[in-house]
Amino acid sequence: MKILQTQTLRGPNYWSIRRAKLILIRLDLEDLANRPSDTIPGFYNGLISVLPSLEEHHCSPGCRGGFLSRVQEGTMVGHILEHVALELQVLAGMEVGFGRTRETVTPGVYQVAIEYQNEAAGRYATRAAHRLCKSLAETGTYPEAELQTDLEDLVELRTEAALGASTEALIREAEALNIPWMELENCDLHQLGYGKYQKRLQAALTSHSNVLGVELACDKERTKEILTRMGAPVPLGKVIYAFSELDNAIEDLGGYPIVIKPLDGNHGRGITIDIQSKEQVEIAYDRAKDISTGVIVEHFYQGRDHRILVVNHKVVAVAERVPAHVVGNGKDTIAALVEQENRDHRRGAGHDNILTHIQLDDATDAMLSRQGFTVDTVLQPNQIGYLRATANLSTGGIAIDRTDEIHPETVWLAERVSRIIDLDIAGIDVITTDITQPLSQADGVIVEVNAAPGLRMHIAPSEGRARNVAAPIIKMLFPPGTPTRVPIVAVTGTNGKTTTTRLIAHICRQVYDAVGFTTTDGIYIGDRLVEKGDTTGPLSAQMVLQDPTVDIAVLETARGGILRSGLAFSQCDVGVVLNVAADHLGLGDINTVDQLARVKGVIAETVHPDGYAVLNADDPRVAAMAAQVPGKVAYFSMDPENEVLRSHLKQGGIAAVYDQGYLTIVQQDQVHRIEHVKQVPVTLGGMAPFMIANALAASLAAYVQGVTVKQIQAALHSFKASEQQTPGRMNLFNLGQFHVLVDYAHNPAGYKAVGGFVKNWTGPAIGVVGGPGDRRDQDLIDLGKLSATFFDQIIVKEDDDGRGRAPGNAAELIVQGICQGGAESAASHSVRLDEAEAIIWALDNAPKESLVVVFPDNVSRTISLIKARNPIVEKPEEA
Ligand code: ATP
Ligand code: ATP
Ligand code: MG
Ligand code: MG
């Protein structure tokens, strides 16, 4: 048994729309291909002894133990691997439960889809499940030690990937409000919302955080100066840079007790408080000096430590922070009490847990000795032993909610201070003997103002009420009623995606300032190409959604990207499905047109409940997708008599239809004639039926997105199938004596579509045809057969890149097809393998009034060859 391929799906996909995060493997069962689990000696017993918790998997029987009974009765090992991979993740603390296993057309080769929370952990669990199942099949066991290592590694991957506590809280709040988010890779930034509505986060720093405010808060001395000037109480003190200045500084403060801390410090590092003597001062000075050249000497304020969290200049939470300490019980030593305390499941390493482990080190020893203790002291019942001088959570402190107790004057002061420092999210540290009194009456001071304050002490205080402080932060970024997503129009289908996407983008320009769109030719923001290439996958879509200037996204969404990694978005506002026809069959384990329809159907299934699926009523597979659409449906059709269309209209639906030469939108009893095809250049005066269909789809998509009929009409006038607007798609050139059409058709449906136009041409038609080498033999034969039905003369050429075929081989198959056309096709043919040569020959020998149709491999080369013959530039149509 071996894994042939591993893919990571990150968005709605062929396997699931909702459970979109999946590891997908191709698994070759090899020697196990014909051996269900009941025929493998010891497998069942081995499995239940290694992973007894599989009992919880219901599987198809739908009850506890369901899956294990299937293993007992006999199921294929691929299916078992799926359940094992899920269970390993669950055991490592990642709640997952969705999986699918399907045999491919290759006997013994399976596709297995396994849900994950964290990509790296999902891939690891899949590999581990493979090892485990293989070992069970070969030996009936899997060593306990290996299982332990697997689980430890999984836990490590999970913790490594976990978001910080503050970020996690903010992201969960955004999710609860259905605000999309994504990680901006390698930037340590998170984006909330799409396009021009986006806001960014980095822990508790946001797009609204002001760099001047952040820098001011990070400079404790400047903060104190400005607060003093504004009349806010701050500790008395000064900054010194040399040991010789120390005595004077202490004298200025009126003597001990004092505090010494580094000028540029954080997390309580290098701070010594409650210094009472000359010798303590010297040690303290050195500790601070190790961290920073400047040293703050301050009066020591007796009192308790508080953090006031101010969001958008409103106090949203107050926490009292108590330094790490233990409470005696009359029998255990301090060391033992610390150990017990650290066993609290809320405590962990670093900032990621609610609380942090208490470390015993020099600082704790010093603190204990000041109270006359050592780690071996046994404290009296209820006697407190402090382990740290400062209350930072990161050194083991705890937090107690005091939001309801703070005095209103201090609330007012804190809100004023957040404006003085100019921070959207400020953590104000206050020392006071009594938080219920004004600072002035309780010897209170503001010790410092923190930018990017930690949120976990408020979200999960060790005592008192938990405060959802993420909510006001998200509300500040997105006040109720403000949009968070730019509309997404996604376009899929076998043929016409790029043309329709461009046309929709063009229509949307009438209304939106910056349309971001992706196509097979590249990514465009506004009118500009920002990246060339086949950009129809999720990364390209993401680029558009991440662009802060974009106000609507129109995304060509091809089969390849959906299969490879799923969609980049979980919902679209308009999902257009143009058609489904045989193309790319045999790739990505998609072998039938029905399977292909399920791939394209992902777009229809992702339509937002208030959005629209724009479906082709003339294509039964597309029309049938209506049943899966969570939102509303709008149909387009070339035929006013189409049954699906008629019944849809009867029920009050919206549709676009080609009726008596007009592109028409019908909604209930309203009929809007958009324009006659003669005035719609992209349809080549109505001679290219499939372009009429594309124009209907585009108009309908724009209409349901709120563009008016007038605006659509204006846009249709100015959109041509020209080599500038749709290079390689129905570009017609007038060479005086004859015309040349360049079109990128590359599958039977595309050829048929162009055939529809050729048949409307009155003069003789010459085809320069070829097909991509990676298609099946039969596809190439069919291309030949089809061409013979509408060309009088055919020149067969090949692509520059044979994609795995020997030169001449593809051409031979196409010729075979032409000859099979039989009596119906009287086309003469010749073979000229080199594309440029074939085109030149055709242009040199084209009869008068004829139409030369080139299906190019290299579009730009073909167009230059034609332009070299000075085509006549048509006068722009009068509007
Ligand atoms: P953090 O990064 O956690 O905010 P920090 O390194 O920035 O810490 P400060 O906030 O200045 O340091 O001080 C840390 C703690 O030390 C305070 O919360 C308070 O408990 C104590 N402290 C600091 N200055 C004084 C003072 N003048 N009087 C009494 N206690 C003080
Ligand atoms: P690709 O899969 O290469 O990205 P696409 O779906 O983006 O293709 P377009 O580039 O718009 O399609 O058009 C490619 C060709 O497909 C056109 O040149 C034309 O021959 C044919 N075609 C376009 N629209 C249709 C349609 N609605 N029905 C059938 N064929 C079409
Ligand atoms: Mg502080
Ligand atoms: Mg395309």
**Would you state the pLDDT for residue 825?**
57
Does the C-beta of 754 come closer than 6 Å to ligand 2?
Answer: yes
Tell me if 546 sits within 8 A of 461, measured CB to CB: no
Summarize pLDDT for 507-552 with one digit per residue, the tens: 999 999 999 999 998 999 998 999 998 899 999 999 999 999 999 9
Which amino acid is present at 706?
Answer: G
Does the C-beta of 555 come closer than 6 Å to ligand 2?
Answer: no
Q: Where are the beta strands (DSSP E) in 770-809?
A: 793-796
How crowded is residue 34: how many other Cβ atoms within 10 Å of its Cβ? Answer: 10
Placement of tokens 């097809």 in the chain: 817
Helices (H), 230-277: 246-252
Mutate to test the pocket of ligand 2, among 494, 499, 619, 742 (most ligand atoms within 8 A of CB): 499
**Would you state the pLDDT for residue 398?**
87
The segment(s) of the chain belonging to CATH 3.30.1490.20 are 236-299
Does the C-beta of 415 come closer than 6 Å to ligand 1?
Answer: no
In CATH, 731-867 is 3.90.190.20 = yes
Is it the case that residue 19 has pLDDT exceeding 60? yes
Strands 552-556 and 515-518 come out as: parallel
Summarize pLDDT for 180-218 with one digit per residue, the tens: 999 997 777 999 999 999 999 998 999 999 999 999 999
Summarize pLDDT for 76-117 with one digit per residue, the tens: 999 999 999 999 999 999 999 999 999 999 999 999 999 999
**Would you state the pLDDT for residue 875?**
59
Summarize pLDDT for 844-853 with one digit per residue, the tens: 999 999 999 9
**Would you state the pLDDT for residue 153?**
96
User: What CA–CA distance (Å, rounded) separates 256 from 99?
Assistant: 67
Compute the mean pLDDT over every residue in the chain, rounded to the nearest whole number. 91
CA of 638 to the centre of ligand 4 (A): 22
**Would you state the pLDDT for residue 879?**
35
Does the C-beta of 267 come closer than 6 Å to ligand 1?
Answer: yes
CA of 497 to the centre of ligand 4 (A): 5
User: What CA–CA distance (Å, rounded) separates 50 from 36?
Assistant: 19
Average pLDDT over residues 606-617: 97
Which top CATH class is 236-299?
Answer: alpha beta
Q: Hey, what's the torsion of the CAs at 647, 652, 657, 661, to 10 degrees?
A: 110
Does the C-beta of 258 come closer than 6 Å to ligand 1?
Answer: no
- Beta-bridged to residue 401, according to DSSP, are 319
Average pLDDT over residues 234-244: 93
**Helices 859-867/835-845 angle, 10° precision:** 30
User: What CA–CA distance (Å, rounded) separates 742 from 727?
Assistant: 9
96, 122, 126, 131: which is closest to 111 by C-alpha? 126
Structure tokens at 344: 């609290």
Burial (CB count <10 Å: 0-12, 13-18, 19+), residue 573: buried
**Helices 497-508/689-704 angle, 10° precision:** 40
Structure tokens at 845: 């020998």
Q: Hey, what's the torsion of the CAs at 599, 21, 112, 586, to 10 degrees?
A: 30
The segment(s) of the chain belonging to CATH 3.90.190.20 are 731-867
Tell me if 318 sits within 8 A of 457, measured CB to CB: no
84-111 in b/e form (b: 16+ CB < 10 A) is bbbbbbbbbebebebbbbebeeeebbbb
Atom of ligand 2 nearest to the CA of 536: 4
Q: Residues with beta carbon < 5 A to ion ligand 3?
A: 429, 448
Tell me if 430 sits within 8 A of 302, measured CB to CB: no
Atom of ligand 1 nearest to the CA of 392: 3
> Which residues touch 797 (CB under 8 Å, ≥6 apart)?
768, 769, 770, 811, 831, 832, 833, 834, 835, 837, 838, 839
**Would you state the pLDDT for residue 873?**
81
Atom of ligand 1 nearest to the CA of 270: 6
CA of 757 to the centre of ligand 2 (A): 14
**Would you state the pLDDT for residue 98?**
95
Mutate to test the pocket of ligand 1, among 448, 449, 456 (most ligand atoms within 8 A of CB): 448
51-66 in b/e form (b: 16+ CB < 10 A) is beebeebebeeeeeee
Q: What is the DSSP string of 581-631?
A: -S-STTBTTB-SHHHHHHHHHHHHHTEEEEEEEEEETTSHHHHGGGGG-SS
Range with top average pLDDT, 654-658, 728-732, 854-858: 654-658
**Would you state the pLDDT for residue 877?**
47
Is it the case that residue 635 has pLDDT exceeding 70? yes
> Which residues touch 5 (CB under 8 Å, ≥6 apart)?
25, 26
What does the longest C-alpha to C-alpha distance in the chain come to? 113
ipTM: 0.90
In terms of pLDDT, which residue wins out, 383 or 228? 228
DSSP letter for 391, please.
Answer: -
Does the C-beta of 578 come closer than 6 Å to ligand 2?
Answer: yes
Banded pLDDT at 821 (limits 50, 70, 90): low
Banded pLDDT at 661 (limits 50, 70, 90): very high
Average pLDDT over residues 728-746: 90
How crowded is residue 251: how many other Cβ atoms within 10 Å of its Cβ? Answer: 9
Summarize pLDDT for 64-87 with one digit per residue, the tens: 888 989 998 999 999 999 999 999
Tell me if 432 sits within 8 A of 443, measured CB to CB: yes
Does the C-beta of 753 come closer than 6 Å to ligand 2?
Answer: yes
Placement of tokens 């089809």 in the chain: 786
In terms of pLDDT, which residue wins out, 61 or 737? 737
CATH topology of domain 488-717: UDP-N-acetylmuramoyl-L-alanine:D-glutamate ligase (3.40.1190)
CA of 189 to the centre of ligand 4 (A): 32
Which top CATH class is 304-477?
Answer: alpha beta
Compute CA distances 834 → 551, 729, 747, 800, whole Å: 45, 22, 20, 8
Q: Residues with beta carbon < 5 A to ion ligand 4?
A: 497-498, 520
> Which residue puts its alpha carbon closest to atom 20 of ligand 2?
745
User: What CA–CA distance (Å, rounded) separates 247 from 256?
Assistant: 11
The segment(s) of the chain belonging to CATH 3.40.1190.10 are 488-717
Q: What is the DSSP string of 820-844?
A: HTGGG---EEEE--SHHHHHHHHHH
Summarize pLDDT for 865-879 with one digit per residue, the tens: 999 999 888 755 443
The segment(s) of the chain belonging to CATH 3.30.470.20 are 304-477
Q: How far apart are the first and last CA of the chain?
A: 67
User: What CA–CA distance (Å, rounded) separates 635 from 616?
Assistant: 6
Is it the case that residue 272 has pLDDT exceeding 50? yes
Mutate to test the pocket of ligand 1, among 318, 431, 455 (most ligand atoms within 8 A of CB): 431
Q: How many CA atoms lie within 13 A of 87 on its CB side?
A: 25
Nearest ligand (C-alpha, residue 750): 2
How crowded is residue 160: how many other Cβ atoms within 10 Å of its Cβ? Answer: 10
Compute CA distances 525 → 379, 540, 657, 728, 759, whole Å: 69, 11, 31, 21, 38
Determine the 3-state secondary structure of 111 from DSSP: strand
Is it the case that residue 321 has pLDDT exceeding 70? yes
